[in-house]
Copies of this chain bind each other. A is one copy, B any other.
């Protein structure tokens, strides 16, 4: 189980091979990679030239570890990994990686999706986009709140 906050790139194949190496109990590896992209339909047609991700060092690691602990409490994960990058990115650059290992595919899929949904609303990162008109801070999305909300436990 690991959380990494870094500016460097990552390779899903390398991480996945490292985590499964020598194991005989893993049946399912689900992964998600979030990538910077050019178009943002919410904000009109102006293409994104680049984006900068700012974060809150210290709190970011704490929050990602808390999110990971929640996933481990909810599902029988054999291992998982969250890598979130910060810095300046151009369209096509990978930004976030979530990898989950389990015996069974449904567990791996659910935990991977949960981690991404929670991370979107609970990890202290902020996106600034550069377009031809200048730089602007991206507003949070209601759809991300709704996606995180669907994992709330019935009280």
Q: Within the complex, which residue of B13, B16, B91, B106 is in contact with A24, where a contact is CB–CB below 8 Å?
A: B91
- Residue contact B20 to A35, C-beta cutoff 8 Å: yes
Q: How far is the CA of A109 from the CA of B111 in the complex (A)?
A: 11
Neighbouring B residues of A92 by C-beta, 8 Å: 20, 22-24, 26
* Residues 50-82 (chain A) with a chain B CB within 8 angstroms: none
Contacts A31-B31, A32-B30: A38 and B24 contacting too (C-beta < 8 A)? yes
Instruction: Assess whether A103 is interfacial by the CB under 8 Å rule.
Output: yes
How many identical chains are in the complex?
2
Closest residue of chain B to A34 (Cβ to Cβ) is B28
CA distance A106 to B22 in the complex (A): 32
- Sort chain A's interface into a size bin: 35 or more
A11 proximity list for chain B (CB < 8 A) = 13, 17
From the candidates B26, B35, B39, B103, name the one contacting A29 in the complex (CB within 8 A): B35
> In the assembled complex, how far is the CB of residue A32 from the closest CB belonging to chain B, in whole angstroms?
5
Additional A-B contacts beyond A28-B32, A28-B34 (19; CB < 8 A):
A12-B29, A13-B16, A23-B92, A24-B39, A24-B92, A25-B38, A26-B92, A27-B34, A29-B31, A29-B33, A29-B35, A30-B31, A30-B112, A31-B33, A34-B105, A39-B103, A105-B116, A109-B109, A109-B113
16 A-B pairs within 8 Å (CB atoms) are namely A11-B13, A12-B12, A12-B16, A12-B29, A13-B14, A20-B35, A20-B92, A24-B39, A26-B92, A28-B33, A30-B30, A31-B31, A31-B33, A32-B105, A109-B109, A109-B116
